[in-house]
Amino acid sequence: MFSPRGVGLRTALPLSRRLFSNSGSSHDMSKAISELNQEMESVFGEPPPSSLSGSIDNQSMTQDLKLSTVEMDDKKSFAGLTHIGSKGEAQMVDVSLKDISKRVAVARGKVILGQKVFDLVSANQMGKGDVLSVAKLAGICGAKQTSNLIPLCHNINLTHVRVDLALNPEEFSVEIEGEAASDGKTGVEMEALTAVTVASLTVYDMCKAASKNIQITDIRLERKTGGKSGDWSRDK
């Protein structure tokens, strides 16, 4: 024999399943909660504890608020990145409205050879030839190919590229400095950094037969001038 309460439970159960599987808006959730409360009151003779329905409502509102906060935080995180769109997609910066100005950038890096390789380079006895001369030319060529290597870099007209390499006997290393200049609408930091990077890789390639323990390190921008952001120096 079934009691009325048992019947009421069976009729209320499908609604509760719909309630907790509902992925719609907070308005739909509130409506479903209200209907469930009415059914429970008709079955048990009294409404459910207010803390239960309030807890569910609060959880739904909290989830909606968290989702909105995450979306706002995501948009804010992209705001200062010019190479990223509002939705996080990669984009090339439009520089058409920027002013033309003299732009110069200087970068540096280091290749630690170790004493054995350092002595061979110093004596110009490496099997592939003059390490420093080849690396210098490679760095200059690298600067001119920056936009082909870095996807979102602009193809700019360089007015000057300088790459200097010097042996450091105290650290058994090659010190590399690269400079790039242009009269244009975008900076040349990447060109200077690419010059140093390609020169460093060339030193490694020229010397790798003598040692695999060579390290390329400390590649960084030292200073830049020109453009909207003005002058910048690592020393300041």
Contact assessment for residue 190 and residue 90, using Cβ atoms and an 8 Å cutoff: no
Q: Is 205 a catalytic residue?
A: yes
The predicted pLDDT at position 50 comes to 58
Query: Coil, strand or helix: which one is 85?
Result: coil
Catalytic choice (205, 218, 231, 235) = 205
Phi, psi at 224, each rounded to 5° = -150, 155
Thinking of the domain 101-233, which architecture would CATH place it in? 2-Layer Sandwich (3.30)
Residue type, 193: L
**Residues pairing with 180 in the sheet:** 105, 161
Q: At what angle do helices 26-44 and 4-21 cross, to 10 degrees?
A: 170
Q: What is the pTM of this model?
A: 0.64
pLDDT band at 219 (very low <50, low <70, confident <90, very high): very high
pLDDT at 126 over 70: yes
Contact assessment for residue 223 and residue 233, using Cβ atoms and an 8 Å cutoff: yes
The residues spanned by each domain of the chain are 101-233
The predicted pLDDT at position 80 comes to 62
**Residues pairing with 221 in the sheet:** 107
Strand 101-112 and strand 160-168: the pairing is unpaired
pLDDT band at 25 (very low <50, low <70, confident <90, very high): low
